[in-house]
Structure formats: C-alpha cells, structure tokens
Amino acid sequence: MLQLFLKIFFKVISKDGEHLAKLKYVAFMGAVNTELPAVGDFVALESYPQDTSLIHGVLDRKTVFKRSDPAGGEQLVAANFDYVFIVSSLNHDFSMNRLERYLTIAWYSGSKPVIILTKADLSDDVAQIVTEIELVAYGVPVFPVDNLSKRGFEAIEAFLKPSETVVLLGSSGVGKSSFINALAGEPLMKTSSIREDDSKGKHTTTHRELHLLQTGLLVIDTPGMRELGIGQASDGLSETFQDIEDLAARCKFRNCQHGTEPECAVQAALADGTLPEAHYSNWVKLKRELAYFERKNDPVLQRAEKQKWKAVHKALETQYKSNLKARKK
C-alpha cells in the first residue's frame, strides 16, 4: 500500500515492511495525473527491501478523493478509504459554508462523511452548533470532541475499526494533527499553536501521508486546504444539498431557476424561513463553480459558451449601430 509520496519516490508498506519505491517507467508511460499512484493506493510492487522497489501498476480504487488543480484539471489526494472525517474546530474560524463544501467533496469520493468538531471545550454553544449542522448535513454523524482530554472519543469508536481507513479533511489549525495523536495515543504528528485573534493556524502538515496505528486503523492525513475546488462533484453537491434538490422537484416548472417564476417551492421555503438563506446562497455559489468547471473542461460546452457571448456581442454591436443611425436622423 502506498504510504507517502516524496516527489520522485514513494514510501510503501508491504509484507517486507516500509521501504522506498519508484515508478517503473514503461508501466506508466503516457499516464495522466489521475492514473498515477496516490496515498492509500494498493499497487503491484516488485519488492526490493534493501533497495528501491518498482511500482508496476495501481489496483482498482474503491474510493477516491480529488481536488481541482490550478490548471483546471483534477488532482488525486487520497484513495481507498472507508470514511471521510471532516475536521472543523469550534473556535472563531468555524464556517458552515466551508463545511458544506467539504461535505460535497466527501460524498463525491464515494465514501461516507463523518463530521468531527474539535476544541469542544472552547465553545459554550456546542449543542446549538451540532443542531444547526444536522439540519443541513442530512444523516451525517456529528461528534464534538476534545483532543486533549479525549472527551467524546468513545462516540466515534464505531468508525475506528482495525483494517479500516479514514482520511482527514480540514483547514489548517482545526486540530487534525492533535486528533491523530489522540487516536494513536502517542505524538505521531507535529502540532502548532494558532493565532488567538482569528483562530487561524499554520500548515503543520505539508504533505499527504498514511499512518498505521497500533490498533490497526489506517489514517490518511492531508495538508490544511481552506479553498477546495469542487471540480466535477455534481453527485456530491446533490447529496449535500438534498433538501434543496427535494424542494426544486416540487416547483411548478421543471426548468425553474428559483427566481421570479410562479409557484417556486424553493422561493416559498426561503420566504417562510424553512430554508436558511445562507444555506441556499452557498448552494447557488457551488452550483456556479461546478458549472464553470464543467464549461472549462468540456470542449462542447466551451464552444457553446463562446457562441453565446459571440451572439451577445453581435447583438450589442447591431443595437449600437442602430442607435447611431437614429441619432444621425
């Protein structure tokens, strides 16, 4: 199993223990980014424990966590995990919008999300925050914990079984490293303090790595990612905002844009307060982001977008010339 990616080399775990490996060039010649090994992958390995082993191929993945890369494509972050632990702290930096973004990515991965609220000792409104999260995170378990005292850890034991794998997602400073140390019962990860004025932390973890705990649990840690592109996660968006999808299905018109159309169930829910405005606004924002990504990466949609704006510019030019002629008369 691939444990760590070190630019040119990979750190792998096999029956011979931990050792370094590299790609067999012929096997991966012409491979695209998403076909290369990622942390958590099971690989076909030609093992040389005393030297550098060779990776011949990547076995089929059961789950994959991807993120958008700067070039507009997708980057693999982790693979073959059973649960996505979305880690958020109950301090000044808590963001429901960011939590919904992580949920979208988690559902899209094919795995099951679990929300971990760290630093529960810093909040006087833990129960209220949990209730608010449960209203928008349909059926997703929510667990407030304290990494230092390990209060709340007994509630998550069902997700920490030997031979299962969890991947941690969350911004820097939310306590992912401290959470891993608490799970392990020993200081596996370096931790750092956060700024008191805004509760923002440093990127203590700068790479993705898989940890095999003494309990048999596998934990994949990831660097803090505050802005996480949702890429092609249309299915994940539907899961995260299932309440809005259900409302939209009750609109009078199938192509309702939830604006001024009559008998719009979404607008009705906004008006009577059953649909929170912030929840709806974040859905609109993520839908637009998803549509932009799809246009950017689909040649057919790209051409359609160019033709649309070409028609708009032509109409504006025609209108301008018409107005100019009218003024001359």
Question: Is 14 within any annotated ligand binding site?
Answer: no
Asked if residue 109 and residue 86 are part of one domain, the reply reads yes
Question: Is 177 within any annotated ligand binding site?
Answer: yes
In eight-state DSSP terms, residue 138 is: T
Side chain identity, residue 108: Y
Q: Please list, residue by residue across 303-313, b when 16 or more beta carbons sit within 10 angstroms of its beta carbon and e when fewer do.
A: eeeeeeeeeee
Question: Is 56 within any annotated ligand binding site?
Answer: no
Question: Is 172 within any annotated ligand binding site?
Answer: yes
Separation in Å, CA 237 to CA 133, 195, 230, 285, 291: 16, 32, 9, 11, 12
Question: Is 120 within any annotated ligand binding site?
Answer: yes
Q: Residue 250 — very low, low, confident or very high, per pLDDT cuts 50/70/90?
A: very high
Domain assignment of residue 245, yes or no: yes
Residue 292 has pLDDT above 60, yes or no: yes
Mean pLDDT of the chain: 81
Question: Is 53 within any annotated ligand binding site?
Answer: no
Range in 28-42, 63-77, 133-147 the model is least confident about: 63-77
Residue 195 has pLDDT above 50, yes or no: no
Q: What's the confidence (pLDDT) of residue 233?
A: 60
Question: Is 178 within any annotated ligand binding site?
Answer: yes
Question: Is 176 within any annotated ligand binding site?
Answer: yes
Residue 193 has pLDDT above 60, yes or no: no
Quote the Cα angle for 200-175-11, to 5°.
115
Question: Is 175 within any annotated ligand binding site?
Answer: yes
Asked if residue 214 and residue 139 are part of one domain, the reply reads yes
Asked if residue 107 and residue 210 are part of one domain, the reply reads yes
Tally the domains of the chain: 3
Domain assignment of residue 192, yes or no: yes
As a whole number, mean pLDDT of residues 213-235 equals 73
Q: Are 165 and 102 in contact (CB under 8 A)?
A: no
Question: Is 118 within any annotated ligand binding site?
Answer: yes
Domain assignment of residue 111, yes or no: yes
Range in 91-95, 97-101, 217-221 the model is least confident about: 91-95
Domain assignment of residue 329, yes or no: no
CATH assignment of the domain containing 246: 1.10.40.50
What are all long-range contacts of 15-23, with beta carbons under 8 Å and residues at least 24 apart? 16/47, 16/49, 17/49, 19/47, 19/48, 19/49, 19/52, 19/53, 20/52, 20/53, 21/45, 21/52, 21/53, 21/54, 21/55, 22/52, 22/53, 22/54, 22/55, 23/54, 23/55
Q: What's the confidence (pLDDT) of residue 220?
A: 92
Question: Is 264 within any annotated ligand binding site?
Answer: yes
Asked if residue 21 and residue 150 are part of one domain, the reply reads no
Asked if residue 111 and residue 94 are part of one domain, the reply reads yes
Q: What's the confidence (pLDDT) of residue 283?
A: 87
Q: What's the confidence (pLDDT) of residue 238?
A: 81
Residue 201 has pLDDT above 60, yes or no: no
Asked if residue 91 and residue 40 are part of one domain, the reply reads no
Domain assignment of residue 291, yes or no: yes
Domain assignment of residue 24, yes or no: yes
Q: Are 58 and 87 in contact (CB under 8 A)?
A: no
Residue 13 has pLDDT above 90, yes or no: no
Q: What's the confidence (pLDDT) of residue 198?
A: 44
As a whole number, mean pLDDT of residues 142-148 equals 94
SS3 track for 40-74 = CCCEEEECCCCCCEEEEEECCCCCEEEEECCCCCE
Q: Which of 16-20, 47-51, 200-204, 214-218 has the highest mean pLDDT?
A: 214-218
Specify the 3-state DSSP secondary structure of 4. strand
Range in 41-45, 199-203, 254-258 the model is least confident about: 199-203
Asked if residue 171 and residue 70 are part of one domain, the reply reads yes
Residue 152 has pLDDT above 50, yes or no: yes
Strand pairing of 74-79 and 64-68? antiparallel
Question: Where do we find the tokens 């705990």?
Answer: 213
- Encode pLDDT of 103-121 as tens digits: 888 888 889 999 999 988 8
Q: Residue 229 — very low, low, confident or very high, per pLDDT cuts 50/70/90?
A: low
Asked if residue 88 and residue 17 are part of one domain, the reply reads no
Asked if residue 111 and residue 214 are part of one domain, the reply reads yes
Q: What's the confidence (pLDDT) of residue 206?
A: 42
Select the more confidently predicted residue: 168 or 226: 168
Asked if residue 263 and residue 146 are part of one domain, the reply reads no
Residue 183 has pLDDT above 50, yes or no: yes
Quote the Cα angle for 261-264-270, to 5°.
115
% the chain with pLDDT above 90: 34
- Encode pLDDT of 161-175 as tens digits: 999 999 999 887 788
Domain assignment of residue 323, yes or no: no
Asked if residue 113 and residue 48 are part of one domain, the reply reads no
Select the more confidently predicted residue: 130 or 191: 130
Question: Is 170 within any annotated ligand binding site?
Answer: yes
Asked if residue 195 and residue 179 are part of one domain, the reply reads yes
Select the more confidently predicted residue: 302 or 264: 264
Domain assignment of residue 211, yes or no: yes
As a whole number, mean pLDDT of residues 190-214 equals 57
Side chain identity, residue 326: A
Range of the domain at 17: 2-58
Residue 186 has pLDDT above 60, yes or no: yes
Q: What's the confidence (pLDDT) of residue 217?
A: 94
